[in-house]
Amino acid sequence: MPPAASPADPDPTSAPRPEASQGSRVLRRLRRNPLALVSFAVLAVAIVVAVLAPWIAPYAPEQTDFANTLAPPGTAGHVLGTDDLGRDVLSRIILGSRASLEVAALAVFTALVIGVPLGLVAGYFRAADAVISRLTDLLLAFPFLILAVGFAAIRGASLGNAAVAIGIAQIPGVIRVVRSDALRLKGLDFVAAAVVDGASDLWVLRRHILPNATSVVLVQATVAIPAAILGEAVLSFLGLGIQPPSPSLGTMLANAQQFAARAPWAAVLPGVAIMVLALAFNVFGDSLRDALDPKASRR
């Protein structure tokens, strides 16, 4: 009588599943990284402030006070001063940061929804790769901001159009990163075993390639968000993004250039807000990439 198969015998067609402790290992590495903790704290505060912006802003962003135009920081009732129309700078930064994060989130979502499937297809199917990669190389030949400005100019100026324009401009980068990881995963034994066992291409992509590329997609998203924040600021500065009187960090910079010599805080403070948001996302993205890297514990 042949011996019964041991339940412990591995199924050669099964993709390697992350161990149950992988999440705890990633969190432990992040907790041991001071830069990760600081950047996460900054982002947590920024997101909470953005969500609660309508309730915590001292004034309505469009509210004017012509008796206090260009008031410096520290003025009674205006902690960060006012602009040329007497609008509270702190309130406009709070609401402007909310708008920037909304645009960034929508842009990255657009880039991932389109870029991830195309990257998987390009990495798995050689014929499709020839077409998708050539189109990707063509788009990557243009700077990110040039693409975003071009798409925004075609679609018109608004928050939604700015988000779509930035997202479309980020699609080539997402495709390239996901394609590279899909090519790596395609050559692994568990994928070859699944193909030999008769699994369909769609099944392999859905059950093996995509789950194991999740960490790459997550890191790419954290890297794409600061680029989207900067892209929104540039589009709004050029008049192709969020339109006045709605607050935006980019429109605040554009408006402040008219009186920057007399009231530098009106330009410096929105610029600092953009820098802090972008830097925090970049630092946390780098920290997350190191934490997800299996070799991080040996570095």
- Domains of the chain, each with CATH number or no CATH: 27-54+79-294 (1.10.3720.10)
At 7 the pLDDT is: 45
At 283 the pLDDT is: 94
At 11 the pLDDT is: 52
Nearest to 46 by CA among 229, 172, 253: 229
- Calculate Rg over the CA atoms of the chain: 24
Block means of pLDDT (10 residues each) for the chain, 299 residues, are 46 49 79 93 95 94 90 91 92 94 95 96 91 92 88 86 93 94 87 82 87 89 93 91 88 90 91 95 92 60
At 274 the pLDDT is: 95
At 10 the pLDDT is: 47
At 50 the pLDDT is: 93
| Residue pair 255/193 in contact by the 8 Å Cβ criterion | no
Give the number of other CB atoms < 10 A from CB of residue 231.
30
| Residue pair 203/78 in contact by the 8 Å Cβ criterion | no
At 20 the pLDDT is: 43
At 8 the pLDDT is: 46
2 Cβ contact partners less than 8 Å away, ≥ 6 residues apart:
none
Residue 156 zone, left/alpha/beta (φ > 0; ψ -120 to 50; rest): left
